[in-house]
Structure 1
Amino acid sequence: MTVLAPPRSPVTRALSSLSVLVLAALIAGLVVGGLAAGGEAEPHGAVVSALSVLEKLGQTWLNALRLTVMPLILALLVVGVAAIADAAATGRLAARALMVFGLLIVFATVYAIIAGLGLLNLWGIDPEGGRALLASVAGQTAAGVDEAARTDAFSAFLKTLLPNNIVKAASEDSVLGVVVFALAFGFAATRLTPESRRPVVDLFRSVGETMIVLVRWILVAAPFGVFALALGVGLHGGFSAAGALGHYVAIVCLSQIGLILLTLLVAVVFGRIGLGHFLAASGPALAVAVSTQSSIASLPVMIERARDNLGVSAERAGLVLPLAVAVFRMTSPVANLAVCLYVAKLHGIDLGIGVLIAGGLTAIAVSIASVGLPGQVSFFASVGPICLAMGVPVGVLPLLLAVEVIPDIFRTLGNVTADMTAVRIVDVGETGNEPAPADS
């Protein structure tokens, strides 16, 4: 049976076009900057003046993006916690699904740290390319975590968990404290009566949706902002930054490919299903994931294939998969931590165990809050808080956003693979299904 992908929404189509424009702007900025430098170590005269203006405009665009991070993460976390609580209240099946999601997301986070550090140690960043990539953000310093915390002071990490002033914590980019407050606030809201809880959740949902609209508006200027930043990189570092960007894409994609392979192993072992059978059953859903880069767009096909080809009951597929799309994004901590670890390595920042734990906990929280939209919208809102929690500068993120279109394919592919794995595991746990045949 042929399964057609659902039509792409106007927003998704616009974002896909925007990603192409942003990538083109990155290339154009590097090329124009490299040519303008004329082979000299530093440009002079009018070029310097033009560069100064463009860099300030690019920094203004970056500041506009950063402005949305704290309110967005606060709103999305409160709504996400409420959604999980509501789902758990629906019964034993939802609770079992949430338990499976939780175990898989913790596994993915531990893997992310090990894989990210391992890949960067085995295949390090080219020093010349790294310097070129940082050329336009050389004045930035790490925020949110001081040097003592980055080295290994676990006590400093603990102090960031509970700030005495949430407004001050937000203004100082102490994102971990904001995340803990948002989680606590969300869980506290679930203890209210439905009549009292509804307006609170609706308020934060409206704030989150408003901030997403604002992010979309800011991203309209992304081609110009990325061009301005890339122009500075090209002027100061020539074309060597392109190699560093390619290396970055490879590291992030390899981290996610490793997770996808491990997820398939989990499906075979705990889902009691043959690898060939699982891939054949999930294939159309994975095809939709690659073409749309949206888990939400893949949902109808996932439900159909889980019911008709994985042997999952219609009731379980209809509950577990929508819940997975809403709150379970297994590749989120892997991709996001890979970005943060890369940026830390780029800046020569050594991360201690306390900071890695802070990053991992923030990555888990962000994975709950992140929205099911293409990565161009959620990239900065997802990666920014983790970088800030780890004390890693965020100035280079717009340049990495320009090439996010490639890693985002693997993000969605991994999420759909994990969703199909989770629904099979939950179904086996509920029914004790006999192992599926190895091939079909």
Structure 2
Amino acid sequence: MKKLALHWKILIGMVLGIIWALLSSSLGWSAFTIDWIDPFGTIFINLLKLIAVPLVLFSIISGVANIGDPASLGRMGGKTLLIYLITTVLAISLGLLLVNTIKPGKLIDEQSRIDNRINYEIWASSQGYQIKDGINYLQDPKFFERAKVISELSHSEIKEASVSDKLEKATQRKETTPLQPLVDIVPDNFFYSLSNNGLMLQIIFFAIFFGVCLLFIPNEKSQPVLTLVDGINEVFLKMVDLVMQAAPFFVFALLAGVVSKMAGDDIGKVVEIFKGLSWYSLTVLIGLLLMIFIVYPSILKTFVRKIPYTGFFKAMGPAQTLAFSTSSSAATLPVTMECVEQNLGVDKKVSSFVLPIGATVNMDGTSLYQAVAVIFLAQLHMIDLTFGQQLTIVLTTTLASIGSAAVPSAGLVMLIIVLDSVGLNPAWIAIIFPVDRILDMFRTVVNVTGDATVCSIIANGEDMLDYQGEKDPTETFDLDS
């Protein structure tokens, strides 16, 4: 086991965690798993988040200050944001192409879709919305009786607390001025921003501002600060090394807890949950896998010829498997940085600037999923969105993805805003809740892979890429120390 690559150890931990969860579910031990095993998964996530925020802060300060030339910084920042924007639009377009081709929402039985459509019209009428496609089932006499039953059911429906909570967050986000996102980036209390993971953009703003100011003061004044920053950065990287030694065991606990919470003591629940949403899940999954194995390698091969296909995935293996198990780009960030720097040969000046920004603004997996989810939910309710409405989805999803926190299931809150932008019921997110966590794991792998791809392209353009060929990924972390 000692010579086994880290990502294989993590994969083994994941598989054993799922097997344990299913076994404990069938034996009625789910409560034991949730009470005594799942907390170690939470500890793992907390440890990674503990490291991630200060690592972002000191890495960006170090990266910006070590660039040495404000003009180079501006050029690198512009290219970074432009490429991240292009990959996001590519991801959304791919999602729309797949969902309009496969039409997963139309593969559900027709009676269920008719009931959903009537429910939608009742909701739209109560909210004062215009019916999207101009067709009105409530005016058709043959649906009167069914509409009456559904109307009575909808009034007695009790919203899930989790749905209401996300609706409230989305409402607060929506009731702002057009320039509110810009205002939100500038913190009024930096220490408050540090203590709130959702305010990563504010931390990045402060770090870039601090690093830029270091460029404009005399070297004898800035050097002691830079030495301190670099030293602190090394301490946090060593923390990553130590935590990753136990990653396979933590991941076992994490996956065992996730599946146990879904299944309870009835193993059939997992099967039923996934059966009903299988076509939707498959559509999202195809899109995400195409991004990981086709789109990103193609982009990388176009701009960086020296990194081979297998070499890239071998280098990023530990970060990708960790992203899958944690569902958090922010939690995976320290490992992503190590993989990119030590396995792909990206200069720390580039990685410490590009990757933290990517973990916050580059949410390609989330963007693709949101595009598929909105069209799927529309199809499920027999609503045909026009090309113009789908373009609105592209624009809204692109902007919403920038604001998504790099934590598990944050995309659901943003999905509410996207649904609302095209006049659909935000409460429909409850329909896709059951499979969201599993798909979230794949979405995070896409996000992390995209970050590494863009980082490699920027480094190659700045002549700061020194790829030495494939190496054993276990060397990325001092597992023998």
Q: TM-score range by the shorter chain?
A: 0.5 to 0.7
Q: State the Cα deviation string for residues 203-256 of structure 1 (Å, max 9, x = none).
A: 99999969xxxxxxxxxxxxxxx99xxxxxx9xxxx998643222222222222
2:300 to 267, 290, 293: 267
1: distance between equivalents of 2:419 and 2:438? 21
TM-score between both structures, scaled by the size of structure 1 = 0.59
1:408 to 423, 427, 440: 440
Shift of 1:188: 6.7
1: distance between equivalents of 2:128 and 2:422? 7
**Contact 1:326 1:372 (8 Å CA) reproduced:** yes
1: distance between equivalents of 2:197 and 2:341? 33
Shift of 1:288: 0.8
2: distance between equivalents of 1:292 and 1:124? 32
What is the aligned partner in structure 2 of residue 120 from structure 1? 103
**Contact 2:361 2:402 (8 Å CA) reproduced:** yes
Alignment of 1:96-115 (within 5 A): 96-115=79-98
1:277 to 280, 298, 311: 311
Structure 1 gap segments, 5+ residues each: 8-15, 25-82, 152-171, 191-196, 211-225, 228-233
Which amino acid is 1:338 matched to?
V
Higher-Rg member (1/2): 2
Alignment of 1:216-295 (within 5 A): 243-261=275-293, 262-272=295-305, 273-295=307-329
Q: Count residues in correspondence.
A: 313
What is the aligned partner in structure 1 of residue 395 from structure 2? 361
Q: State the Cα deviation string for residues 256-303 of structure 1 (Å, max 9, x = none).
A: 222223122212222322101111111111111112111112111111
2: distance between equivalents of 1:406 and 1:288? 14
| DSSP-derived class of the 1:348 partner | coil
The percentage of aligned residue pairs carrying the same residue is 23
**Contact 1:264 1:417 (8 Å CA) reproduced:** no
2:424 to 384, 392, 406: 392
**Contact 1:112 1:338 (8 Å CA) reproduced:** yes
| DSSP-derived class of the 1:349 partner | coil
Cα distance, 1:148–1:247 mapped onto 2, change above 3 Å = closer
**Contact 1:263 1:417 (8 Å CA) reproduced:** yes
2: distance between equivalents of 1:425 and 1:144? 48
Cα distance, 1:100–1:299 mapped onto 2, change above 3 Å = same
Which amino acid is 2:285 matched to?
C
**Contact 2:133 2:384 (8 Å CA) reproduced:** no
2: distance between equivalents of 1:126 and 1:353? 23
2: distance between equivalents of 1:247 and 1:92? 43
**Contact 1:366 1:382 (8 Å CA) reproduced:** yes
Which amino acid is 2:318 matched to?
P
TM-score between both structures, scaled by the size of structure 2 = 0.54
2:92 pairs with 1:94: no
Q: State the Cα deviation string for residues 125-161 of structure 1 (Å, max 9, x = none).
A: 222584499499667534686336889xxxxxxxxxx
Cα distance, 1:409–1:187 mapped onto 2, change above 3 Å = closer
What is the aligned partner in structure 2 of residue 419 from structure 1? 451
Cα distance, 1:312–1:271 mapped onto 2, change above 3 Å = same
Cα distance, 1:207–1:331 mapped onto 2, change above 3 Å = same
1: distance between equivalents of 2:433 and 2:440? 10
Alignment of 1:172-251 (within 5 A): 182-187=177-182, 198-199=187-188, 243-251=275-283
1: distance between equivalents of 2:418 and 2:376? 12
Cα distance, 1:109–1:314 mapped onto 2, change above 3 Å = same
1: distance between equivalents of 2:181 and 2:360? 16
Structure 2 gap segments, 5+ residues each: 11-16, 26-59, 65-69, 136-166, 200-261, 264-268, 473-481
**Contact 2:92 2:367 (8 Å CA) reproduced:** yes
2: distance between equivalents of 1:133 and 1:258? 34
2:312 pairs with 1:329: no
**Contact 1:274 1:439 (8 Å CA) reproduced:** no
**Contact 2:396 2:418 (8 Å CA) reproduced:** yes
| DSSP-derived class of the 1:402 partner | helix
